[in-house]
A = this chain, B = another copy of it.
Amino acid sequence: MELRQLKYFLKAKELLNFTEAAKLLNISQSTLSQQIKQLEEELNVPLFNRIGKRIILTEAGEMFSEYALLSINKANEGLLLLKDLNNLSVGKVIIGVVYSMRIIFAKALTEFAKQYPNIKIQVVFGTTKDLLEKLNSHLFDFVLTFHEGAEHPHLKYQTLLSSNMVLVASKKSTLANKSSISLEEVAQLPLALPFSGYSTTQFFVDSFNQKDLDPNICMEINDIPTLFEIVKTGHWHTILSETSVNDPQVVAIPIEGKNMKRTIMIISLKEAYEKKAVKKFYELLRGIQEYK
């Protein structure tokens, strides 16, 4: 039993005339006769009574046709669903995002949700390491994070934008009106950094080491809003990507040095099928870059 045969059968049932049905099906009458016959043999019951030159549906044919139609319909519904999926009217996107991308990501997220209200979105915040592991297990459609040194052959890297590393200080701080600051100066300041599991912190510790500097890291805190509260006291400072800062009570002072930029990347699996919805999300993320 094949969908083709069911389709033929239903058309024949509809017209009760093999010749006409064959014409509409764009096959020969011979083919239709044979396919119907084959179906009848498989079902072990005639679907039509051949009375002279007329054909009329048997009881079995009548009852079977209901299911034939359902079978075809379900297959077609599946097809339609996939079309819909491509039209972004259904579906789900799962994204991993590092904490420091929170602000920039939120913009794209709200825009996406507005444009494609029927697509469900799951956002998982985490550290780059965690996120990339989960990406490898196919748990994410893509991950939004900073560029790490090594590139994995399974992964696809799309550069989104560069973001300066900045020293975050209280607006009341004496540093507040500096237009830039050197790594050496930063090393002198009491620092409250993000948790060392974070790539940003890791990146900075490495930078200090390279210059043989011994930074004064007083705290490591696993939450950026809390970090800001600490900074606002005026006593401590923190180091973040520029993209993380949007609090009016603090200032972001770019750190000097050509390596003091980090590249924000979209990382996805090379081999995985890229959902239409995901592509749209990429576009939105790239758009953000411009009106930032």
Given contacts A86-B45, A273-B46, contact A67 B81 (CB under 8 A): yes
The reply to whether A82 and B50 form a contact with Cβ atoms under 8 Å apart is: no
Cα–Cα distance between A44 and B79 once the two chains are bound (Å): 9
**Contact residues, A58-100 vs B (CB, 8 A):** 58-60, 63-64, 66-68, 70-72, 74-75, 77-79, 81-82, 85-86, 90-92
* A78 touches which of B59, B67, B272 (Cβ 8 Å): B67
Q: How far is the CA of A50 from the CA of B50 in the complex (A)?
A: 51
A271 lies within 8 A of B50 (CB): yes
A56 close to chain B: CB less than 8 A: yes
| Bound Cα distance from A71 to B7, whole angstroms | 13
**A49 on the B face (CB < 8 A):** yes
Residue of B60, B78, B86, B272 touching A64 (CB-CB under 8 A): B78
**In the assembly, how many copies of this chain are there?**
2
Q: Does A3 contact B (CB under 8 A)?
A: yes
B71 and A78 form a contact (CB under 8 A): yes
Which residues of B are found within 8 Å of A50, using beta-carbon distances? Answer: 271
Contacts of A6 in B (CB 8 A): 75
A269 at the interface (CB under 8 A from B): yes
Q: How far is the CB of A262 from chain B (nearest CB, A)?
A: 29
- Is A43 an interface residue when CB atoms closer than 8 A count as contact? yes
Find chain B residues with CB under 8 A from A60 CB.
82, 85, 273
Shortest distance from the beta carbon of A264 to any chain B beta carbon, whole Å = 25
Number of interface residues of A (CB under 8 A): 44
Residues of B within 8 A of A79 (CB): 1, 43
Our pick among B51, B77, B86, B271 for the contact of A67 (Cβ within 8 Å) is B77
Structural contact, B271 and A59, CB atoms closer than 8 A: no
Complex-state Cα separation, A45 to B45, whole angstroms = 38
- Do the beta carbons of B138 and A51 come within 8 Å of each other? yes
At the interface, yes or no: A4 with Cβ under 8 Å from chain B? yes
Note all chain B residues with C-beta closer than 8 A to A59.
85, 91-92, 275
Separation of A72 and B86 alpha carbons in the complex (Å): 24
- In the complex, what's the smallest C-beta–C-beta distance from A61 to chain B, in angstroms? 9
Q: With the chains together, A6 CA to B71 CA distance in Å?
A: 11
Point out the residue from B51, B71, B275 that lies within 8 Å of A272, measured CB to CB. B51
A-B contact pairs, 29 of them (CB 8 A): A1-B75, A2-B2, A3-B3, A6-B75, A43-B79, A44-B86, A45-B82, A45-B85, A45-B86, A49-B272, A51-B138, A51-B269, A51-B272, A52-B271, A58-B272, A59-B92, A60-B82, A60-B85, A60-B273, A63-B81, A64-B81, A67-B78, A68-B75, A68-B78, A70-B74, A71-B72, A71-B74, A71-B78, A74-B74
